[in-house]
Amino acid sequence: MKKILLLSSFVISVMLLFSSCEKIKELTDIPIDADLNADISTISESASSSAGLKGATAQEYSFSGTATINPTDNEDIDKYWKKIREWEVKKVVVKVKNASKEAVLLNGQLVIKDKSTDEILFVEDVENVHLTSGTIVFSISGADWGEVISALNSKHSLVVGINGALDEPGVSITYGVVISLKVTANIFN
């Protein structure tokens, strides 16, 4: 009977030790709300006339631009870079910071790539958006960010690109990109 009691006490102690270690680890988690920011400058160029939206003929002027986002440019992320154990993309917003004149974005695309592998991680399309300073072009939450998170877990920078066609030539636009994250670091990692 003493052996069973001793063995049971040992098993319970071991179980408490392991469950306590996990609870201690959770207590040492550091939640970080962080934004990764980039500006992308574009200018629409001349392109051949092509079919526009819904079969209408329109003159389209293409544009494209990219920016690199290095997560360690955010000082909170940089401080815990080697201790980050979990990433969550809460939202991605692309907003017109300034435009040389008003235009309509006939079609546009947001592309996020892994800078190290050049692999496309995320793509979102948009059509027929009237662009002026302050216009939100993309506001994306609840998407499948798995591949973006994998790149961040691999400690890779991201390349964010915007391309598409405007209804006006020579329009200079600066887009502001904000990737809002919830990051969990652990001081014991």
**Could you read off the pLDDT of 5-24 as tens digits, one per residue?**
555 556 555 555 555 555 55
Q: Residue 177: pLDDT above 60?
A: yes
Mean pLDDT of the 160-181 span: 96
What b/e string do you get for 147-166 counting C-beta neighbours within 10 Å, with b at 16 or more? Answer: ebbebbeeebbbbbbbbbbb
Residue 122, classed as helix, strand or coil, is: strand
Distances 126 to 20, 110, 122, 156 between C-alpha atoms, Å: 49, 8, 14, 27
Phi, psi (degrees; rounded to nearest 5) at 180: -90, 130
pTM of the model: 0.80
pLDDT digits (tens, 9 = 90+) for 156-168: 999 999 999 999 9
In order of 9, 112, 151, 161, 164, the CA distances from 145 in angstroms are 45, 10, 10, 16, 22
Short-list 62, 67, 41, 42, CA closest to 50: 62
The residue count for the chain: 189
Can you give the pLDDT at residue 59? 85
- pLDDT per residue as tens digits for the range 39-91: 999 999 865 444 443 443 468 999 999 999 999 999 999 998 988 989 999 99
Residue 56 is predicted with a pLDDT of: 38
Helical residues (DSSP H) of 72-123, grouped into ranges: 75-80
Kindly state the tokens that stand for 178.
């904000």
User: Domains (ranges, CATH) in the chain?
Assistant: 30-186 (2.60.120)
